[in-house]
Amino acid sequence: MREGKAVKVQLHGIDCPEKKQPYGTKAKRFTSDRAFRNEVEVRIKDTDRYGRIVSVVILSDGKNLNWEIVGAGMAWWYRRYAPDDGMLERLEAGARAEKRGLWADKNPIPPWEWRKMQRGGP
């Protein structure tokens, strides 16, 4: 919320599972539990092709929400949009190695592939 209005923020460098995808609801709950009703700092990195702001969100305790989500295994490091982000790379590798969150599944499907399958594309 900003000035009484809801603001939608895309999180830079990460891609969470879609709602109907395994872990989609858990990822949303994880994110909401950390950010909802808390004052956060939104560091705008870009605007996407749909006009949404793409940001890094810093929680009231100083933690980076984007990193927290990936480290908990609730999202993929989105290499396409943050190819040089070494921290996201390390956090995803750690979550994979320890089978946290979605990495507990044998073969989790990245959201960008899930969306393509839902559209019926190649």
* Cα separation, 33 vs 31, whole angstroms: 5
1 falls within a domain: no
Q: What's the CATH code of the domain at 61?
A: 2.40.50.90
Q: Is position 34 within any domain?
A: yes
Instruction: Show Cβ contacts of residue 12 under 8 Å, excluding neighbours closer than 6 positions.
Output: 45, 46, 54, 55, 56, 66, 81, 82
Which residue range forms the structural domain that includes residue 92?
A: 9-119
**Residue 55: inside a domain, yes or no?**
yes
Going residue by residue through the chain (122 aa), what tens digit of pLDDT does each one get?
778 888 889 999 999 999 999 999 999 999 999 998 889 999 999 999 888 899 999 999 999 999 999 999 999 999 999 999 999 999 999 999 999 999 999 999 999 999 999 888 66
For residue 2, being part of any structural domain is answered with no
Which tokens in the block code for residue 33? 């539990």
CA atoms within 13 A on the CB side of 38: 17
Q: How high is the pLDDT of residue 120?
A: 80
